[in-house]
């Protein structure tokens, strides 16, 4: 595979992953590029820490806390 093909493949993988994450979060892909650097760093840290949680009970505790502090319980707004 040449460099150009490899770069295009990598971009396609990233785009596909972003689309899947956006769909799971019920938000547009553009929401990821609208973040400030601080927001991006905090989001990356949150996802990194979440990935470290192996125990389902721990994950449920984190979700419960986040739902408690998120506006509207963290539910997507109905449009």
Residue 74 carries which DSSP code? G
pLDDT tens track, the chain, 79 positions: 676 777 777 778 878 888 888 888 888 888 777 778 778 788 888 888 999 999 999 999 999 999 999 888 777 665 4
pTM greater than the 0.85 cutoff:
no
At CA 56, angle to CA 54 and CA 59, rounded to 5?
85
């Amino acid at each position: 595979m040449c460099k150009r093909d490899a770069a295009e493949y990598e971009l396609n993988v990233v785009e596909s992953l972003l689309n899947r994450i956006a769909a799971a979060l019920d938000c547009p892909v553009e929401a990821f590029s609208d973040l400030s650097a601080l927001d991006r760093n905090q989001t990356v840290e949150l996802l990194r820490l979440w990935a470290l949680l192996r125990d389902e009970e721990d994950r449920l505790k984190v979700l419960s806390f986040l739902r408690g502090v998120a506006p509207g319980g963290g539910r997507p707004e109905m449009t």
